[in-house]
Amino acid sequence: MKQYTQSTYGAVFVVINEQDQLVGYGIASMKQVYGQIDEVYVAPEYCSQKMAKHLVNDLMDWFH
């Protein structure tokens, strides 16, 4: 998982596999006094590997 980009108000994280193919992403943003996870997507074949959980955890860490 890599943090693709960020600004003061948001971040995009991407998940790539060993062949450098995109398998998921997450977008988070700051809204005045709170953080919000806007989108999370993980390709169906990677759902059993708990990629979404790891992605959400990394997004939550970014808020801190």
Q: Give pLDDT, residue 63.
A: 87
pLDDT of residue 3: 57
Is residue 37 exposed (0-12), middle (13-18) or buried (19+ Cβ within 10 Å)? middle
Average pLDDT of span 32-45:
92
Predicted structure pTM score? 0.81
Q: Hey, which CATH number is domain 2-63, 3.40.50.360, 3.40.630.30, 3.40.50.620, 3.40.718.10? A: 3.40.630.30
Q: Any idea which of 3-7, 18-22, 33-37, 56-60 has the lowest mean pLDDT?
A: 3-7
Helices (H), the chain: 51-63
